[in-house]
Homo-oligomer: A and B are copies of this chain.
Amino acid sequence: MRHNNPTGTVLYTIEQAIKEYRKIAQKNILQIVKDITIDQCLVLIILNNNAEISQNELANLVFKDNASITRMIELMVKKEYLIRTIHQEDRRKFNLEITEKGIKTIELIEPIIQLNRETALNGLSLEEITLLDKTLNKIIINCKK
């Protein structure tokens, strides 16, 4: 079962696919909002749909390390996308609040992200996508145990 790539495994194709997607996604977003990355966009959107979330939970949702999230939030606070305040009930935690600038940015980028996804998945049938998701989830489970 060789594949048409230097390592001969589909795992390599997975990596290539996500890299190509990230490339166009970042490029298109940059044309609308200058100082943001796709990862920061994702954080904004997740926070928007999940208020009151902790950094830990956020990290899990976006599949990032705790350390990465800490640094991303630092940057996003500095760039005034987020406000971070100490959580009153549990002083180990923080509240993450989206600023006005953050909200405006979400409105700007959401259609772009939508478009990026449509571009990437253009011409794929529902079955193909469903099956893709199913197969990838098998791989994820295999790797987790």
Contacts and interface: CB of A to CB of B under 8 A. Distances in A.
B132 A132 contact: yes
Interface residues of A, number: 49
Interface stretch (A72-80, A82-90, A97-105, A113-121): A113-121
Contacts of A117: 9, 11
13 contacts: A1-B129, A6-B49, A10-B121, A10-B129, A13-B133, A14-B21, A16-B63, A17-B139, A21-B139, A24-B143, A122-B142, A131-B131, A131-B135
Q: Is the interface of A mostly helix, strand, loop or mixed?
A: helix
Interface in A108-145: 117, 119-124, 126, 128-133, 135-140, 142-144
Given A23-B143, A128-B131, 14 more contacts: A6-B46, A13-B133, A14-B17, A16-B63, A16-B140, A17-B143, A19-B63, A20-B139, A21-B139, A123-B142, A124-B138, A124-B139, A128-B135, A131-B131
